[in-house]
Amino acid sequence: GAGVSQTPSNKVTEKGKYVELRCDPISGHTALYWYRQSLGQGPEFLIYFQGTGAADDSGLPNDRFFAVRPEGSVSTLKIQRTERGDSAVYLCASSTGPQETQYFGPGTRLLVL
């Protein structure tokens, strides 16, 4: 079956712009996670959704970052007033539940110029 998909695969933007990154989880997976992977680092947790609600957003670095999952399926990560330090690969993962195996998408490579 289809895995986790993310769009766009690459995004180049200018400092100060707004960006949206989309994640389509595996069908039927109720849990969805966003991670950020900087160059040469492992993924770092950003936010976890169970259904439509953000159960834990403690990993979001500041209030420029926001994520939604309005219908409990697709999620969008939104970054306002982008900064060069936001450049990274943003990974989405989904699972059947919070204690189950997380399946990752290919990521969106964000470059802020």
Partner 1 sequence: QKEVEQDPGPLSVPEGAIVSLNCTYSNSAFQYFMWYRQYSRKGPELLMYTYSSGNKEDGRFTAQVDKSSKYISLFIRDSQPSDSATYLCAINSGGSNYKLTFGKGTLLTVNP
Chain contacts with partner 1 (rule: CB under 8 A): 4, 31, 33, 35, 40-45, 48, 56, 59, 91, 93, 95, 98-99, 101-107, 109
Largest separation between any pair of C-alpha atoms in the chain: 38
Q: Which is nearer to partner 1, 1 or 42 (CB)?
A: 42
Q: With residue 34 as reference, give the H or E element that holds it.
A: strand 31-37
Q: In the complex with partner 1, which residue's Cβ is closer, 64 or 106? A: 106
Evaluate whether 38 touches 21 at the Cβ level (below 8 Å).
no
For the CB of residue 91, give the shortest distance to partner 1 in the complex, in Å: 6
CB of 59 to partner 1, least distance (A): 8
Say how far apart CA 60 and CA 84 lie, in whole Å.
16
Least distance (Å) from partner 1 to the CB of residue 32? 10
Looking at beta carbons only, is 17 or 109 nearer to partner 1? 109
The Cα–Cα gap between 21 and 106 comes to: 12
CA-only gyration radius of the chain, Å = 13
How far is CA 50 from its chain centroid? Answer: 14
**Cβ of residue 106: shortest distance to partner 1, in angstroms?**
5
Residue number, 8 or 16, with CB nearest to partner 1 = 8
